[in-house]
A and B are shown apart, each in its own frame.
Chain A
Amino acid sequence: MTAEIILFWLFAFLTCAGAIMVAASQNVVRMAFSLVLTLGSTAVLFLLLGADFVGATQLLVYVGGTLVLLVFGVMLTATGPFTRIKSSPADAILSGLIGVVFLFIVASTVTAVNWDGENGIDQKIAMGAHAKAVEGGFNPTQQGNTTRPLGLSFLSLRADRDLKLDLPKESSAETNTAPVVPGVSVVMPGVMPPPKSPVPLSTGYLLPFEIVSVHLLVVLVGAAYLARTKRRATT
């Protein structure tokens, strides 16, 4: 019973309890607090899975940003004549039953897979991939491993995949020399042909990163436009 197991069970319980409270509660403010509990515990689960940067991002963006936004929405809309929004007890019981059945279906599917067997995850391959990602981090484990490979992969450099490639020695010498054949191919001055890599390098995420950046900008401008206070045309 190591500390990791104890932490896992503690935060697994907190995650599930918070999620059930979000689904079961009728009060929006209590739902928001339970969602804070759930998302924070999920961040700790991410840390337990070795994803330190994603866990920190979860805490910063979700708990610090999105949930504050939601709480502001609750505060701005909690006044007025129709504040009490309840569903009937029969609906709640019925949806709870359907939820339990749905959970049984999904959980039986998950537990039906033999994760250690021949058809499951090959533990050697899996641990090897994780160890490779750790090697690409250039840091000892205590300082966090995934930040640098994640940043490099957003720049389309895959340190976790390509750093330890065994390149053939004899082909590496002629990769940077331009094939200059006089009279046949005109080589533009200053333009090097791309060096041929003996092994195809892994692709990164530069284009999705740019797309998501522009998307976030457009979305925030659109949200500010939508949520602004409109002046009535009659006044």
Chain B
Amino acid sequence: MQPTPDKFLFISAVLFVCGVVCMTTKRNGIGILMGVELVLNAANLNFITFSRFTPLGLDGQVFSLFVIVLAAAEAAVALAIALNFYNNHLTIDVDRGDELHG
């Protein structure tokens, strides 16, 4: 007996909404990164769900592997940028990065 796909899709929707809310409301730069990770995980859960319940088959799992690798790369680069920002501003409050306002 397997749970139906809409339950997994609902969990994925919860992850996605939490990630978007986290991205938009956090002022901490690393908090924004965590929101991005949540959104990518929601996409992964959708991929795996459809690879299980539809003829998509193994392709969904391959794509979720690519998403995991790209998320790791994105986290490394974004963290390096956050460290540079901290070196220049002594904080990672993204509201203080307003030197480029035009």
Query: Does the CB pair A19–B14 fall under 8 Å?
Result: yes
Min distance, Cβ B30 to any Cβ of chain A, angstroms: 5
Query: Does the CB pair B52–A28 fall under 8 Å?
Result: no
Residues of A within 8 A of B28 (CB): 28, 85
Interface residues of A (CB under 8 A from B): 2, 4-5, 8, 12, 15-16, 19-20, 22-23, 28, 31-32, 35, 38-39, 42, 45-46, 48-51, 53-54, 57-58, 61-62, 65-66, 69-70, 72-74, 76-77, 80-83, 85-87, 91-92, 95-96, 98-99, 102-103, 106-107, 110-111, 113, 115-116, 121, 125-126, 128-130, 132-133, 136, 146, 149-150, 153-154, 158, 160-161, 205, 208, 212, 215-216, 219-220, 222-224, 226-227, 230
Contact for B81 among A57, A69, A226, CB less than 8 A: A226
Query: Does the CB pair A133–B57 fall under 8 Å?
Result: yes
Q: What 9 pairs between A and B have smallest CB-CB spacing?
A: A82-B91, A226-B80, A227-B80, A19-B18, A219-B73, A99-B21, A23-B18, A223-B76, A129-B55
Contact for B75 among A58, A66, A92, CB less than 8 A: A66
Closest residue to A211 on the B side, CB-wise? B66
Query: Does the CB pair A77–B30 fall under 8 Å?
Result: yes
Query: Does the CB pair B17–A149 fall under 8 Å?
Result: no
CA distance A130 to B62 in the complex (A): 14
Min distance, Cβ A142 to any Cβ of chain B, angstroms: 17
Residues of A within 8 A of B34 (CB): 22, 31-32, 35, 70
